[in-house]
Chains A and B, each alone.
Chain A
Amino acid sequence: AQKITQTQPGMFVQEKEAVTLDCTYDTSDPSYGLFWYKQPSSGEMIFLIYQGSYDQQNATEGRYSLNFQKARKSANLVISASQLGDSAMYFCAMREGSGFQKLVFGTGTRLLVSP
């Protein structure tokens, strides 16, 4: 079974608008972490934001916020005020447990921001 599911292969948004990228996860471990990474066309993986399973508040980092709904096992990434430079692949990933930090990645969502 897929541990991380990203159901949107591609998303389009206009500049300055907000966009939500979906991510659902599957785990029975009460301790886990959720990550979002950005991969621009140049190929590097850039860490964006982290949410721990015990964190009471949704994580925010600048224009990025994570809409964490634990009961629904979803961890959607919200990008506010999209910019042209936000066009990239976005990957959701999960670390299970508090020991070994193996990350399991989703298949990604390609975001295209238009002027």
Chain B
Amino acid sequence: DADVTQTPRNRITKTGKRIMLECSQTKGHDRMYWYRQDPGLGLRLIYYSFDVKDINKGEISDGYSVSRQAQAKFSLSLESAIPNQTALYFCATSPSTGTGTDTQYFGPGTRLTVL
């Protein structure tokens, strides 16, 4: 089984709809992240969480919100989706500082299309 899972894997929705993307991990990591990927722009950080009580905005948080329901679960919401939020969304996890290379491990991605 994958260590980092994302649901749904693909979603098509309409402008103005509320969408939730979910991420679960079995790696036991404290830190979780949400990124979006647009063609030619690489990955950009939306939100990150160091633990259940710690949520922080990334570089492109406008239009998004998150919820850290448990150590293993981190959800991303689009309250009112708009077409320029069409992108590939990745969840990632990493261990806390001091436990190695701090490598981030990514889920398989959710391809979201907003019409």
Q: Which residues of A contact B (CB under 8 A)?
A: 4, 33, 35, 37, 42-47, 50, 52, 91, 93, 95, 98-99, 101-103, 105-108
Bound complex: CA A23 to CA B43 (Å): 16
* Known contacts A101-B94, A102-B45, A102-B58, A44 near B101 by CB under 8 Å: no
Bound complex: CA A28 to CA B106 (Å): 27
Q: Name A's interface SS.
A: strand
Q: Are A35 and B45 in contact (CB under 8 A)?
A: no
Bound complex: CA A4 to CA B108 (Å): 23
* Known contacts A45-B90, A45-B109, A107-B40, A99 near B101 by CB under 8 Å: no
Residues of B near A107 (CB, < 8 A) are: 40-42
B31 within 8 A of A: yes
Residues of B near A108 (CB, < 8 A) are: 42
Interface hub of A35, A98, A99, A103 (most chain B Cβ within 10 A): A103
B88 within 8 A of A: yes
B105 within 8 A of A: yes
Across the interface, name the chain A residue whose C-beta is closest to B43: A105
Residues of B near A106 (CB, < 8 A) are: 42
Q: Are A101 and B104 in contact (CB under 8 A)?
A: yes
Report the tally of A-B residue pairs with Cβ distances under 8 A.
53
Q: Are B109 and A43 in contact (CB under 8 A)?
A: yes
Bound complex: CA A106 to CA B103 (Å): 16
Bound complex: CA A20 to CA B42 (Å): 19
Q: How far is the CB of B91 from chain A (nearest CB, A)?
A: 10
Bound complex: CA A31 to CA B42 (Å): 23
B109: contacting residue among A4, A44, A98, CB under 8 A:
A44
Q: Are B42 and A33 in contact (CB under 8 A)?
A: no
* Known contacts A43-B88, A45-B106, A101-B97, A91 near B43 by CB under 8 Å: yes
Q: Are A50 and B101 in contact (CB under 8 A)?
A: yes
* Known contacts A45-B109, A101-B97, A102-B48, A91 near B102 by CB under 8 Å: no
